[in-house]
Amino acid sequence: MADKIRSRYAPSPTGRMHVGNLRTALYEFLIAKHEGGDFILRIEDTDQGRFVEGATDIIFRTLESVGLKHDEGPDKDGGCGPYVQSERVKSGLYMKYAKQLVEKGEAYYCFCTKERLESLKTEVDGKEFAVYDKHCLHLSKEEVEANLAAGMPFVIRQNNPQTGTTTFHDELYGDITVDNAELDDMILIKSDGFPTYNFANVVDDHLMGITHVVRGNEYLSSSPKYNRLYDAFGWKVPVYIHCPMITDETHKKLSKRCGHSSFEDLLELGFLKDCILNFVALLGWSPEDNQEIFSLQELIEKFDYHNISKSPAVFDYQKLRWMNGEYIKKMDDTEYYEMVLPYLKKAVTRDVNFEKLAQMVKTRIEVFPDVYEMVDFIQEVPEYDVEMYAHKKMKTDAASSLEVLKELLPIFEAQEDYTNDALYATLSDYVAKKECKNGYAMWPLRVAVSGKQSTPGGATEIMEVIGKEESLNRIRKAIEKLSAV
């Protein structure tokens, strides 16, 4: 019987969650849940210099809000919290395994000073880097013990061979072989006693029984070193899935400074969390039937990591906007109204029928801030040229529009029912008696009450939203404007 799939999301708490990190979490979750497996959350906070206060809360909040619930943790009986590496350090766990490698000759103590390490740096193509020269590997056992007894600061380095090759397998890229001469002796335990990310994640993945590891393809070059650690311990290597880079529309790596690269950035721009998750799922993966709109449950059912592309995934902002518009259209009216109302009230401070206004724009907005520009005329009619009343198709001009508005004014003054249906019925009666086309009367009325040629709703819908008093006020001002021509 095959092993149960166990995947993990292991973020570092360094700020807002980049969409690339959210994609990693989602793919790990889907791989596990598609096969009925377990999804583990592990906070990798061993690099204390990069730790950002509050970032761990952001991770929890983001995953919870999109439904990526982890299955276990050290306090499972009391609430299933995540694993936290800095807490595991206190038990001496990582140091214990690093010393095992030292005993096997797969790692060694390094006492080199900062000054000596600086002296090893070289410059190639304008970039400065250093390759450690294995100096401390050649210290005798007695020298190592004397240095340790003297309390000399040290790190523990992996002892990689300098000849031969190392081959590893990735599910997307296949077998990849590298020359061992390219593998530096990376640090496993830092001078502060904390493990490096590279070492801690290998140890933890083994101890937690992780079967599938998803990460960005920038980690392809590190995989041989990870595999050598697995081999040194005699542990089973997990399944590797290295995802393609995410780029912007100009095919440059999606930068944290672009303004919409994190989950919270997108929420602040008015995108829906379920839409964001749906969109992120398609950044490098596509189903066989080309479906684009998915619920989380549908993603669980259809996700096959073999359909992940090796080509860079383009973050198409306009496609995200379109997708969000589709999500808004399908929203429950009550939930939608609660979410759009703050935006409407920011755009319109006068007393209007916000519920009707919300419905008027629902099928026309892609993100909630779209309402600001879309409904600005509700707050106040903008200055407009009377030439706007001329419409070739509707066969209207300034003179005909003035005539229509003068005739409609007393009719609407007498009307009490200002619902859209009642207003439209009144307008239809007028059109029938005048024996003209609908547009002949609708067009001047729309311009009069909105000051625009294009609006999210028709003339009578606008009148219902702004109410009787404001509607009549705007019609009178339009008559005054046209009469002055």
Q: Alpha-carbon distance 7 to 302, whole Å? A: 17
Q: Which is it for strands 239-243 and 212-216: parallel, antiparallel or unpaired?
A: parallel
**Catalytic residue among 104, 256, 310, 330, which?**
256
- Between vectors from CA 49 to CA 213 and to CA 148, what angle results, nearest 5°? 90
Q: Count CB atoms within 10 A of the CB of residue 251.
A: 9
Q: Alpha-carbon distance 279 to 273, whole Å? A: 10
Q: Alpha-carbon distance 134 to 142, whole Å? A: 18
Locus of tokens 């000596």: 116
Q: Alpha-carbon distance 40 to 201, whole Å? A: 13
Buried b or exposed e, range 435-467, using 16+ CB within 10 angstroms: ebeeebbbbbbbbbbbbbeebbbbbbbbbbbbe
Q: Alpha-carbon distance 455 to 440, whole Å? A: 17
For the record, the structure tokens of 437 come out as 């086309």
For the record, the structure tokens of 196 come out as 């490096």
DSSP secondary structure code for residue 222 in this structure = G
Q: Which amino acid is at 353?
A: N
In the three-class reduction of DSSP (H, G, I as helix; E, B as strand; rest coil), residue 58 is classed as helix
Helix 93-104 and helix 223-233: axis angle, to 10°?
Answer: 80
Catalytic: 256? yes
Residue 155 phi/psi, 5° resolution?
Answer: -125, 165
Q: Alpha-carbon distance 205 to 27, whole Å? A: 17
DSSP secondary structure code for residue 386 in this structure = G
Please give the full DSSP string across 6-18, using - where no structure is assigned: EEEE----SSS-B
* Active-site annotation, residues: 256
